[in-house]
Amino acid sequence: MAVLMIVLLAACGSGPQAETKETQAAAEGQKEAAESANAPGTDNAPADTGSDAPSPKAPSGDTNAAAGDTGVLVAYFSATGTTKGVAEKIAAVTGGDLYEIVPAEPYSDDDLNWNDRNSRSTKEQNDKSARPGIGSDDISLEGYATVYLGFPIWWGEEPRILDTFVEKYSFEGVTVVPFCTSGGSGIGRSGPNMEALAGSGTWLDGKRFSGSVSEADLKSWIEGLK
């Protein structure tokens, strides 16, 4: 009996102490887990939905603001967004400013139907004198040494709104680099066509790109321009 009483008393005395140590250890473990979950760089940290890169903006018209430090302008017309994507990549590679050539009358899907001989785009491309109006603000080319000029290929040539653009501005002292997007057609005579209409500037040979072209490929092309 005496031995039994000693064992029972020992158990009662050590129970609360052991339980306290286990509770403290559990609490410390939970605290460490919480701190780890909120630590920077962990998978459990809140996601940063912001972006490092500023959103490109077309230069404001009628302000004649000075060109950026790079002296590069990327001007483009994009009917479906494909050329816009390539233009944005070129601007990222060169650090240039973006300017979108926006049609005064937007093109609808029906307007772009190349299977319809009476569609707007078909009629414009069949009429070399057609000059669709530009709805975007005017831009000063002062301070720009290089202008990358982008557009989709329509019926083997530049859209007529590009003719409107190059006839509107003087490219004196500017190097113009055409680029285009298409499903397979090359740039053709688009560059020489626009050079003749512009009547000024130094025009380099242009190149066709797919919408999925990488910035690395564009950088390689740009570095190889002469």
Question: How do beta strands 175-181 and 97-100 pair?
Answer: unpaired
Measured distance CA(219)–CA(91) in Å, rounded: 10
Distances (CA, A) of 95 to 92, 123, 175, 218, 219: 5, 37, 16, 13, 11
Share of the chain above pLDDT 90, in %: 67
**Cβ–Cβ under 8 Å, residues 150 and 88:** no
Burial label, 221 (beta-carbon count in 10 A; 0-12, 13-18, 19+): middle
Measured distance CA(52)–CA(39) in Å, rounded: 21
pLDDT band at 15 (very low <50, low <70, confident <90, very high): very low
pLDDT at 81 over 60: yes
Higher-scoring residue by pLDDT: 13, 216: 216
User: Hey, what domains does the chain have and what are their CATH numbers?
Assistant: 72-223 (3.40.50.360)
Measured distance CA(120)–CA(199) in Å, rounded: 27
Q: Give the model's pLDDT for residue 67.
A: 58
**Cβ–Cβ under 8 Å, residues 53 and 93:** no
Measured distance CA(17)–CA(12) in Å, rounded: 10
Q: Give the model's pLDDT for residue 8.
A: 37
pLDDT at 35 over 60: no
**Per-residue model confidence as pLDDT tens digits over 90-143:** 999 999 999 999 999 999 999 999 999 999 999 999 999 999 999 999 999 999
Q: Give the model's pLDDT for residue 185.
A: 86
